[in-house]
């Protein structure tokens, strides 16, 4: 594990679990989706991330301090969530430490939930969800479930790094990316990504509740979205719009 990042376990962590990730990115899709899953499944905190690479922030819950990046568990499901925008310059060591920890814990499948910025999102009623895999097994899972695979293009940010580091370790990792607003919280995209996640891992979560509370979610997520926006600029997120150059197999 990286020296600058520690993952501190507070309770016993299940082995051979499936792990979902909700990290701040376009439309905060992953954060909204994973926060809904943690809350509805009443998952409990089992570990947290401690690192000098993070800003000096704690999050207060019921009067007690917590790390802004935590891992929750319920039976055989783990969920990682960040309550703050992660500095773009810290993403690599943080994601590498998280993937190393997943490897130690024998995580069976890692699924990152997120968004793919879509310029005409306002005119899309039902956001489409695309999948990306870290190895042949992940691609097989996506194809068997009828999830559209993103065949070519660029991915930038936490999901991209998790896929890359998981590929190095041959961990089956999947990114599920819903069409989303670039810089507005998108609860509809989060609901779409939960629906697709359900095809791979059964998470008994009611997305209609998320859709009904859409306006409240958008309002509550304003400040983290604002801070995430500046990190998206720093990580050159707009490169995802680029058309790939010559084909390199």
| Contact call for residues 79 and 34 (beta carbons, < 8 A) | yes
- Give the closest residue to 71 by CA, choosing from 28, 32, 100, 102: 102
CA distance 204 to 198: 8
| CB burial of residue 92 (10 Å; 0-12, 13-18, 19+) | middle
Q: Please list every residue from 199 through 238 that binds another protein, using CB under 8 A.
A: 214-216, 218-220, 222-223, 225-227, 229-230
x/- mask, another protein, residues 96-135, rule CB under 8 A, reads --------------------------x-------------
x/- mask, another protein, residues 162-201, rule CB under 8 A, reads -------------------xxxxx----------------
CB 184, min distance to another protein, A: 4
Sorted by sequence, the CB contacts under 8 Å of residue 171 that are 6+ apart come out as: 99, 102, 103, 107, 110, 134, 135
Question: Which CB atom, from 42 or from 123, has the smaller least distance to another protein?
Answer: 123
Question: Which CB atom, from 62 or from 151, has the smaller least distance to another protein?
Answer: 62
Residue 9 binds to another protein (criterion: CB under 8 A): no
CA distance 98 to 165: 10
CB 60, min distance to another protein, A: 9
Say whether 118 sits in a helix, a strand or coil.
Answer: coil
CA distance 117 to 119: 6
Question: Which CB atom, from 165 or from 182, has the smaller least distance to another protein?
Answer: 182
Positions that interact with another protein (CB under 8 A):
122, 181-185, 214-216, 218-220, 222-223, 225-227, 229-230
């Amino acid at each position: 594990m990286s020296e600058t990042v520690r993952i501190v376990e507070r309770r016993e962590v299940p082995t051979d679990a499936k792990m979902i990730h909700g990290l701040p990115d376009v439309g905060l899709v992953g954060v909204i989706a994973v926060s809904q899953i943690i809350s509805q499944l009443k998952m409990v905190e089992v570990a947290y991330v401690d690192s000098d690479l993070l800003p000096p922030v704690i999050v207060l819950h019921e009067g007690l301090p917590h790390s802004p990046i935590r891992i929750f568990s319920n039976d055989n499901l783990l969920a990682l969530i960040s309550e703050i925008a992660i500095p773009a310059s810290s993403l690599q060591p943080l994601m590498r430490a998280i993937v190393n920890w997943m490897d130690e814990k024998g995580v069976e499948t890692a699924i990152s939930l997120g968004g793919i910025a879509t310029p005409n999102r306002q005119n899309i009623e039902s956001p489409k969800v695309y999948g990306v895999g870290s190895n042949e097994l992940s691609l097989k899972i996506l194809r068997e479930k009828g999830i559209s695979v993103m065949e070519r293009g660029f991915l930038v940010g936490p999901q991209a790094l998790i896929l890359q580091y998981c590929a190095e370790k041959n961990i089956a990792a999947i990114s599920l990316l819903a069409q989303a607003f670039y810089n507005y919280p998108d609860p509809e995209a989060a609901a779409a990504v939960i629906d697709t996640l359900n095809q791979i891992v059964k998470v008994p979560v009611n997305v209609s509740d998320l859709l009904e509370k859409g306006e409240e979610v958008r309002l509550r997520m304003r400040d983290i979205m604002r801070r995430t926006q500046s990190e998206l600029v720093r990580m050159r997120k707009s490169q995802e719009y680029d058309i790939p150059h010559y084909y390199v197999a």
